[in-house]
Amino acid sequence: MYKKPVKNILLFLARFSPVLFIVGPLFFKKGYIFLTDLVWGSHLTYNWASSTFLLNIATKGLSFIFSVDLIEKFYITLCLGLALWGGRKIAGLFLKEQWLIFVASLFALFNPFVYDRVMYGQCAIAGAFGLMLLGAGFLLEYLEKKQTRQIVFAGLSFAFAVQFSPQFLFFIAAFYIFVFLPIFFIGKRETAGGIKSLMTKIIQISIILAIIAFVLNANWIVGGVTGKSALGEFVSAGISRQDLVAFQTSGKTGANALGNVLMMSGFWGKDQFRYADLTKFANNWGRSFFLLLPLVLWGLWAALRSKEKKYRCLAAGSLLLFVVSMVLAAGIRIPVGRELTYFLFDHLPFYKGLREAQKWDAVTAMVYLIFLSIGLRELFSKKIIQRNGFVMKFFICAVIVMQAPLLLFGFSGQVKPVQYPNDWYAVNNYIVRDSGCSGNILFFPWHLYMSFSWIGGIVATPAPTFFQCPVISGTDMEWGGEFDNSQNPQGQAVEHWLSTKGATDLLRNGAFNIHYVILAKEVDWRNYAGLDSNPQLRLVMETSTLKVYKVTR
């Protein structure tokens, strides 16, 4: 009676064991995970016009059962699991043996693109990547099974991918245009009804996908259109061509940047030295890529020479998609990429939001996975390989994992759970009791990213996610010539107040409703000594890591 459920659970654990080998150590200690862009706390905001609205609602619901720091670890696990699941879906289209599917799926998880994004704290990018693979797999599966549910599942996958990372809308559209549509039209043109029938069907498919995407993302889409979305305001007014320079693909030269793109690297964030850089890994991560490249090329060649029209069309479309994604991922670092990027930036709606060109490597990795899966099928069709199947599978697994070995065992010890200091809780409780959160907290030092002695690294300021009362904190990027382009009126007013040494009416302006000022004793906090002599502030509490001032009325 219980054998089948137990067997299914064990099978699930086996298939997703790579994720457990990554995140497992994180669950053995209480505390939050702090990465540059990953900062959680017990205070959750519920801005309906934000793409994270549903995530925060889900987190709030789970917080009645689990602690928020544990939910954060579940979230990291989910994002990595989605990457592996999407890899399984793509691999399963071309491979039948479960162990081979497992081998190929590892490529979707252990690659420089996923590693860099996760280690910078952009776990949602890894989740969106996996969901894009999942949706692409369902669409390609539809070409065989012709079941409406494949379209629905693809729509759901794509919709959630866009919710995890809105920029994936462009990557999904590129796959749809360059791969799915050509296979659909060329492979089905003999269908009764001809081109008119095919056009009707593709319009139906497109409408289903669009409706699902809109319904699941309606909150932040409507918020952007109505001007109630901070993200929409930032994209339209806060991003300029200077952002393309600040966040350009990494590499000493254009050719070097293009080479990084081809190897799924080149993320600008790795140059900030906030985590171990794979490209400087002692065991030379690049060897793994070049060992896998012959399999990828074999897969491409086999698909191009296939007797089946769908494979030839898949190969041609994927190859074209690869070239487009490669050029756009290199972005302004190469001449053709520069012209194309500037054109899209100026004329394609919302493309401004894709200020990090290297994100196009998500598409590059998808194309590699498709051809790698076909290459594995060709390799294991040979009798000599079949006779040594176990050894070959183990070897290829090892080669794939060595593309990003620093993911393993809690990110190779780079990440450790950390608790918020006790005095942060004491300050939070004091302010809540004293004011009932009737006003805002102004948090200093005024940096978007800064180091905290109790965290041990540079992260986004955690104050807004920790303190129960609303927090106004720094929005200065301070990278690549970019400082504060958030278009936030509160931030601009604080900048002016600081530059005039407190000479403005910031603290008494009812529009900002600031009741408390908190100064963390970190980095350049001594530069804020003027707070002690400001007649509008009274020091009401001081701890080992914080100073708390109350605004006098």
User: Is the pLDDT reported for residue 284 higher than 90?
Assistant: no
Question: Which pLDDT score, from 0 to 100, does residue 142 have?
Answer: 95
Q: Residue 229's domain spans which residues?
A: 3-24+49-271+281-408
Q: Which of 249 and 480 is assigned the larger pLDDT?
A: 249
Tell me: do 456 and 378 sit in the same domain: no
What is this structure's pTM? Answer: 0.94
279 HSE (CA, 13 A, CB side):
19
Structural domain includes residue 31 = no
Q: Are 97 and 137 in contact, with CB atoms under 8 Å apart?
A: no
Q: Are residues 390 and 500 in the same domain?
A: no
Instruction: Answer whether residue 347 is part of any domain.
Output: yes
455 and 525: one domain? Answer: yes
What is residue 503's predicted lDDT score, i.e. its pLDDT? Answer: 87
Is 77 a member of any domain? Answer: yes
Q: Are residues 449 and 342 in the same domain?
A: no
Q: Residue 491 in 3-state DSSP?
A: helix
Q: Residue 415 domain-assigned? A: no
361 belongs to a structural domain? yes
Using the predicted structure, report yes or no on whether residue 92 has a pLDDT greater than 90. Answer: yes
* pLDDT score recorded for residue 364: 97
Distances (CA, A) of 192 to 12, 142, 195, 421: 42, 18, 9, 70
Of the pLDDT bands very low, low, confident and very high (cuts 50, 70, 90), residue 126 is: very high
**DSSP-derived secondary structure for 68-137:** HHHHHHHHHHHHHHHHHHHHHHHHHTT--SHHHHHHHHGGGTSSHHHHHHHHTT-HHHHHHHHHHHHHHH
pLDDT of residue 186: 82
Domain presence at residue 472: yes
* Predicted confidence (pLDDT) at residue 18 exceeds the cutoff of 90: yes
322 in the same domain as 245: yes
Q: Are residues 181 and 65 in the same domain?
A: yes
- The whole-angstrom separation of Cα 115 and Cα 548 is 39
Mean pLDDT of 7-12: 79
533 within some domain = yes
35, β-bridge pairs? 38
Within this chain, do residues 473 and 369 fall inside the same structural domain, yes or no? no
Q: Which of 383, 408, 433 is the last residue of a domain?
A: 408
In this structure, are 452 and 377 located in the same domain?
Answer: no
Rounded to an integer, what distance in angstroms lies between the CA atom of residue 258 and that of residue 266?
8
pLDDT of residue 44: 78
Is 400 domain-assigned? yes
Predicted confidence band at 486 (pLDDT cuts at 50, 70, 90)?
Answer: low
CA-CA-CA-CA torsion sign (259, 279, 377, 7): negative
| Residue of 281, 428, 473, 296 whose CA lies nearest to 371 | 296
Domain co-membership, 440 together with 353: no
C-alpha closest to that of 158 among 179, 180, 136, 140: 136
Domain count for the chain, please give it: 2
How buried is residue 30: exposed, middle or buried, by Cβ count under 10 Å (0-12/13-18/19+)?
exposed
Q: Is the pLDDT of residue 229 over 70?
A: no
Taking only the tens place, the pLDDT of each residue in 499-543 is: 998 889 999 888 899 999 999 999 999 999 999 999 999 999 999
Contact at 8 Å (CB) between 333 and 248? yes
Q: Are residues 438 and 354 in the same domain?
A: no
Residues 401 and 445 occupy one common structural domain? no
Specify whether 98 is located in the same domain as 169.
Answer: yes
